[in-house]
Amino acid sequence: MKKIGFIGLGIMGRPMSMNLINAGYPLVAYDIMEGALSEVVRHGAKRGVSPKDVAENSDIIITMLPNSPDVKEVVMGKNGVIEGGKKGKILVDMSSISPLVSREIAKEIEKKGVEMLDAPVSGGEEKAKAGKLAIMVGGKREVFEQCKEILNIMGENVALLGDIGAGQVTKLANQVIVAINIAAVAESLVMAKKVGVNPEEIFQAIKGGLAGSQCLNDKAPRMFKGEYQPGFRMKLHVKDLSNAFETSREFHLAMPLTAQVMEMMQSLLAEGHEEIDHGGIALYYEKLNGVSLKD
């Protein structure tokens, strides 16, 4: 059985690593946050002392980190994964980062003989705990096949989509669609409330039709209650859209709808709403139009 290294034990990484331990895989873990690391060690992981140490003691190294600079530092920085890498090892980066950075990292670690997959996820904390994430993968098919069994423990929809970077491009597409969809839900429901039609009744009437979506079903009830405990934090969605714009600039793409939603999210961050669920886009529309969906 392959030995797994897991670096990054946040809201998503912690349950993902625990699912691998529950499946019987030997796992060495590392995180700069002692509390998170201790929790996973109590669950059965060995304690790593650095990314280099994790890489030296693993066949497959998984990273689940906040953004591109964090992954670059963990992989290519001092005492990084690259220092403990050698031919035959595989790095699976499950962070949501720029596809351009994924390709840069893959090129560097290939010099040590280390293969790489980029494999960002979608589904949030609840699906991470249940092992039902959607996992979007880029890389060589033969490397994917070596890791597929492990990925299937963490996700129920695992797809290889192309070469390195393809997973990240797919995640960016997912995040663009979700952001615009949530904004459309908020805009339409606030419109209904403003003109005097019950938005909850509209939700019930349309959710089974063409306008129905997982975003509508998940976010509209939050909007009606004004409860935005994070399933996916606003600041993280802004990070993902920032990566989408970085990519769009490289390829000279116009993304006008995404740009509008990004401005809405940035205004909410400026008001202190970094940690709320991204469904809190409704707050932008409520303030703009002087109504509340929860009244």
Return the pLDDT at 230. 87
Whether the predicted pLDDT of 67 surpasses 80:
yes
Give the whole-angstrom CA distance, residue 270 versus residue 258.
18
C-alpha torsion angle, residues 123, 129, 132, 136 (rounded to 10): 50
Return the pLDDT at 1. 86
Tell me which residue of 53, 15, 48 sits closest to 32, measured CA to CA: 48
Question: To the nearest whole percent, how much of the chain has pLDDT over 70?
Answer: 100
Same domain, 261 and 126: no
- Whether 294 maps to a domain, the answer reads no
- Whether 178 maps to a domain, the answer reads yes
State mean pLDDT over 281-295: 95
Same domain, 260 and 283: yes
User: Mind listing the pLDDT tens digit for each residue in 249-280?
Assistant: 999 999 999 999 999 999 999 999 999 999 99
Same domain, 61 and 194: no
State mean pLDDT over 60-76: 97
- Whether 107 maps to a domain, the answer reads yes
Q: What is the DSSP string of 66-120?
A: SSHHHHHHHHHSTT-HHHH--TT-EEEE-S---HHHHHHHHHHHHTTT-EEEE--
Please report, for the domain that includes residue 261, its CATH number: 1.10.1040.10
Same domain, 79 and 195: no
Q: Give the domain range for residue 74.
A: 4-163
User: Mind listing the pLDDT tens digit for each residue in 198-253?
Assistant: 999 999 999 999 999 999 999 999 999 999 998 889 999 999 999 999 999 999 99
- Whether 240 maps to a domain, the answer reads yes
Whether the predicted pLDDT of 4 surpasses 90:
yes
Q: What is the DSSP string of the chain?
A: ---EEEE--STTHHHHHHHHHHTT--EEEE-S-HHHHHHHHHTTPEEPSSHHHHHHT-SEEEE--SSHHHHHHHHHSTT-HHHH--TT-EEEE-S---HHHHHHHHHHHHTTT-EEEE--EESHHHHHHHT-EEEEEBS-HHHHHHHHHHHHHHEEEEEE-SSTTHHHHHHHHHHHHHHHHHHHHHHHHHHHHHTT--HHHHHHHHTTSTT--HHHHHHHHHHHHT----SSBHHHHHHHHHHHHHHHHHTT---HHHHHHHHHHHHHHHTT-TTSBGGGHHHHHHHHHT--TT-
Same domain, 125 and 198: no
Whether the predicted pLDDT of 295 surpasses 80:
no
- Whether 187 maps to a domain, the answer reads yes
Domain stops at, among 163, 192, 215: 163
Whether the predicted pLDDT of 8 surpasses 90:
yes
Question: To the nearest whole percent, how much of the chain has pLDDT over 90?
Answer: 97
Give the whole-angstrom CA distance, residue 4 versus residue 104.
23
Q: Which of 89, 171, 193, 219 is catalytic?
A: 171
User: Mind listing the pLDDT tens digit for each residue in 119-171?
Assistant: 999 988 889 999 999 999 999 999 999 999 999 999 999 999 999 999 999 99
Please report, for the domain that includes residue 128, its CATH number: 3.40.50.720
Rounded to the nearest integer, the mean pLDDT of the chain is 96
- Active site annotation includes 171: yes
Domain stops at, among 163, 196, 226: 163
Return the pLDDT at 227. 95
Return the pLDDT at 168. 97
Give the whole-angstrom CA distance, residue 178 versus residue 278.
9
Same domain, 13 and 110: yes
Q: Are residues 131 and 19 in contact, defined by beta-carbon separation less than 8 angstroms? A: yes
